[in-house]
Structure 1
């Protein structure tokens, strides 16, 4: 079993997006294979080829050294040197009577290709002849110089770099690099085209979940992505049909319920005034309020169009309306003037529900609007009322839950104000929760995406 801590440590370096993970799956094996291939190529091909070239050059220099050492006159030496320059691409000079200054530089002092070539040539020269020698490699000038101490003088042999070092290897590396780059670009373009339908499906689902219109969405991509897109469209159609049927049904129910209530109100109005008639009228009014509350909760606002709405302007309107109820309201906008996609009637109802609840129990309300990051706004509604217990923060969002157990509409409503507010916030893709207020009452927090 792999420890969880190690797995979490690895997850930090794993891309979070599907596109990034797909690229990692494509790139990582290619890099590993190329690294192994380069190592094998360098070890088996490049080093061996350099050793074989050095072996050939060392044999040729050994033969030249032996011929020049055995030659009795300068004419023969000059002829050997001319033939070597003509057929072996050597530039040869012979300094008769000179003594070779031994090279004190270690054979491994040079790094990279120069050090590898020098070491290979010195190794092969040491095995091919018994004369003292020095080797000087200069890749900038693309020449290599070998000086050999013969009994009659010093033999200087200069040879081009191509006799010891093959430039075709560079071409191979460049070809591999560009081929890999081209394949990687093709893979990236292919993966982008494969992931684009998934992103569009995610955006369409997000828009539909927030109650916005999903337009110009078409099924495309791989077979599995097409199946998911078709399933989303089928689900969208079923939900829209269900919302339409529910709205039409509730419209009929609303008419059927209100018609007998209207007849009762007319009959009661014709009975005159008495304590019993007054109680009946109150009961009928309570029934109307409860039915209206139930219908508002179940109906929702699915048919309302999403519009760009100025949140700060809406907060000004609802706070003015709350002030008319006799409650003082302090509004702080913090220079936030963002227009965000909202269903204005629904969200205004959400704010009115929260403010009316606060106005029932408090005499002062604080409303704050602020921006939290680039993609969210934060609305806080606080009051100085008695508040509620912490263990009731979740329960008050349950439909028909009331802190007042008497079920009196005048004192506590029907228990649908906060559930309707939560439903509206959630359909906008936001979050809502309760906390204790610093002013002694309750604080309602709303987060909305911009």
Structure 2
């Protein structure tokens, strides 16, 4: 029951706040209506019905004591003038045998009053198109028809009270909606700015507005944004210096090897070639580390065709000797940082082709588990794969598992790929591939 109640409640702060404001009002008005109906309305309805029944009982008694056309004419005239009752005698008529069609509480009160005061068979009919109730009373010599105006049985207080209840509820609901909408807007803007900033987009400072707590949250976000931006700028400057300082000695070493190699013997040239390969690997590791530390934060997302990007990555891999098959839906236009996503897919394809004979690249539209459209990218291979218990560990920087340790690379490819995918608001996971090897599955919001 508790879980079912939670599913019925609104999920947004706006909906829950409006519900908190409106629910007590509805309960209060329902209690007030019940008290009003149980006391004032019932008492007034009973008294009005008793008055009409008493008038009819008096008319019946007068016609019984003084029969005749003259008495009937006088009673008819006086009843209309003084009691607002229209009476008509139908000699020899009898009440129909079908049940009395009484439906409302006022008619029930009138029936009880007639049974108590008139003490003759009667029937109540309420023509819905007229503002009067028809009462037929069985007399010994015929049927007495009495028409009583509705205002003698109903009071306008009920209508005014119900209009007041409904009107006040609607006014309060409108005020609550407008007020809470203004309070929730700054929270929505703060959430959107935090989401965009988390994806690496350039976000302007948020204007603090709304309630005091929301203003404090916006000010804290602005300070956090400034600190992170300052840290990223300092890190970029430091990495630029590190890159320059590391490349300079490596360049001197490669130049020295190039000048020394012609003067070496055959065996020493083999050692020099090995040193040359070590220097190249060291340079590649430095470039990979700088790319991992630098990220792709400076690039802004823009609509791009993911299918074309996948074809571009596949063509580059084929030029490097890989066997790549593309199975992507056409015209997959999504917001992307193209250079970053190109690097991500290139890393995944390079990892796959190092350990497999065939690589498959796929992309298709899908639906995210949390709801909303998404695009799913898969990179499959027919290699040895990675054991399930080691797949999450493979995303750590500089990790090269088992057979992959000797296959080249720096151990940063998957770390950079995950960093890029998460910067796009997506997620990446390693799974068993239906091709027999490993599958890297990327889910991106569309």
Report the TM-score, using the length of structure 1 for normalisation. 0.88
- Alignment partner, residue 256 of structure 2: 267
Q: How much does 1:283 deviate?
A: 3.2
Q: How much does 1:123 deviate?
A: 2.2
Pick from 424, 439, 442 the counterpart of residue 446 of structure 1.
Answer: 442
Q: How does 1:423-438 map to 2 (within 5 A)?
A: 423-438=419-434
Q: How much does 1:57 deviate?
A: 1.8
State the SS of the aligned residue for 1:203: helix
* Separation in structure 2 between the aligned mates of residue 313 and residue 153 of structure 1, nearest angstrom: 96
Contact 1:327 1:362 (8 Å CA) reproduced:
no
Change in Cα spacing, 1:99 to 1:122, as seen in structure 2 (3 Å) is: farther
* Separation in structure 2 between the aligned mates of residue 123 and residue 439 of structure 1, nearest angstrom: 85
Contact 2:307 2:329 (8 Å CA) reproduced:
no
Matched, 1:343 2:332: no
Change in Cα spacing, 1:75 to 1:281, as seen in structure 2 (3 Å) is: closer
Matched, 1:320 2:299: no
Shifted more, 191-200 versus 175-184: the winner is 175-184
Q: Unpaired segments of 5 or more residues in structure 1?
A: 1-5
Change in Cα spacing, 1:155 to 1:382, as seen in structure 2 (3 Å) is: closer
CA deviation string 1:57-95 (max 9, x = no partner):
222233333444444765455444433321111223456
Pick from 372, 375, 385 the counterpart of residue 373 of structure 2.
Answer: 375
* Separation in structure 2 between the aligned mates of residue 447 and residue 87 of structure 1, nearest angstrom: 84
Q: How does 1:138-177 map to 2 (within 5 A)?
A: 138-140=126-128, 141-148=130-137, 155-177=144-166
Q: How does 1:128-147 map to 2 (within 5 A)?
A: 128-129=117-118, 132-140=120-128, 141-147=130-136
Q: How much does 1:147 deviate?
A: 4.6
- Alignment partner, residue 293 of structure 2: 298
Contact 2:336 2:424 (8 Å CA) reproduced:
yes
* Separation in structure 1 between the aligned mates of residue 82 and residue 310 of structure 2, nearest angstrom: 95
CA deviation string 1:108-136 (max 9, x = no partner):
x522x2xx333322322333355x24242
- Alignment partner, residue 190 of structure 1: 179
* Separation in structure 2 between the aligned mates of residue 406 and residue 243 of structure 1, nearest angstrom: 32
Change in Cα spacing, 1:320 to 1:62, as seen in structure 2 (3 Å) is: same
Pick from 168, 172, 176 the counterpart of residue 179 of structure 1.
Answer: 168
* Separation in structure 2 between the aligned mates of residue 123 and residue 390 of structure 1, nearest angstrom: 81
Change in Cα spacing, 1:79 to 1:277, as seen in structure 2 (3 Å) is: closer
Matched, 1:101 2:116: no
- Alignment partner, residue 243 of structure 1: 232
Contact 1:69 1:152 (8 Å CA) reproduced:
no
Matched, 1:386 2:384: yes
State the SS of the aligned residue for 2:200: coil
State the SS of the aligned residue for 2:441: strand
State the SS of the aligned residue for 2:260: coil
Q: How much does 1:33 deviate?
A: 2.7
* Separation in structure 1 between the aligned mates of residue 361 and residue 393 of structure 2, nearest angstrom: 23
Count of matched residue pairs:
435
Matched, 1:31 2:26: yes
Contact 2:133 2:150 (8 Å CA) reproduced:
yes
* Separation in structure 1 between the aligned mates of residue 442 and residue 67 of structure 2, nearest angstrom: 106
Report the TM-score, using the length of structure 2 for normalisation. 0.88
Q: How much does 1:105 deviate?
A: 5.3
Q: Unpaired segments of 5 or more residues in structure 2?
A: none
Q: How much does 1:162 deviate?
A: 1.7
* Separation in structure 2 between the aligned mates of residue 332 and residue 296 of structure 1, nearest angstrom: 29
* Separation in structure 1 between the aligned mates of residue 137 and residue 273 of structure 2, nearest angstrom: 130
Q: How much does 1:224 deviate?
A: 1.3
- Alignment partner, residue 3 of structure 1: none
- Alignment partner, residue 364 of structure 1: 358
Matched, 1:92 2:92: no
Contact 1:133 1:146 (8 Å CA) reproduced:
no
State the SS of the aligned residue for 1:415: coil
Matched, 1:421 2:417: yes
What's the RMSD between the two structures over aligned residues?
Answer: 2.7
